[in-house]
Amino acid sequence: MLEVKDKNISAVKIKDCTNKNLKAKDLESSWAKYKYSILEYSPKTYFQIRELLKDKTNLNSLHFYNRIDNALNEPLLLNNQINAIDHVWGYFKTDLTEKENYLKKLDKLKKGSLSVKSMKKYLFNLAVKNNMTYLLESYYFDLE
């Protein structure tokens, strides 16, 4: 599904779905932007898409984007969100000065005294501070 509110994302979808010379790297580039959001919504779809992208000879962008759209319409479950948060935290885990802070926030999140939105804002700020372009260019902090 294409939406006006996300015209940049929709433009990439249109380009990928109409490109007769679609290369694996095109879908892999899109996947890099979606993967933590998909993991947050549907770990099952996350692994299905990873398998789908292993076949470089039979690329199907419509199938790829349909799976993404379906996953993003699933209900958010806290355990899935925590799993995605842990994966994103993996980019910072060597920052021992932040580890204690992260673990405290994670504990609060699990107990319900911190929101997922606050936790994601914390990770976003870490990504900015550490100039983590890969994360900053992803949709993880934007899609909800």
The total domain count for the chain is 2
**Sequence-distant (≥ 6) Cβ neighbours of residue 138 within 8 angstroms:** 32, 33, 34, 35, 36, 37
Residue 122's domain comprises: 78-136
- Which residue is it, tokens 């599904």? 1
Domain end residue (candidates: 32, 48, 72):
72
- 3-state helix, strand and coil shares in percent for the chain, rounded to the nearest 5: 70, 0, 30
- Residues 53-74 have pLDDT tens digits of 888 887 788 888 899 999 999 9
Domain end residue (candidates: 72, 92, 120):
72
Q: Are 66 and 82 in a shared domain?
A: no
Q: Are 68 and 82 in a shared domain?
A: no
Q: Are 89 and 120 in a shared domain?
A: yes
Structural domain includes residue 123: yes
Share of the chain above pLDDT 90, in %: 65
Q: What is the pTM of this model?
A: 0.85
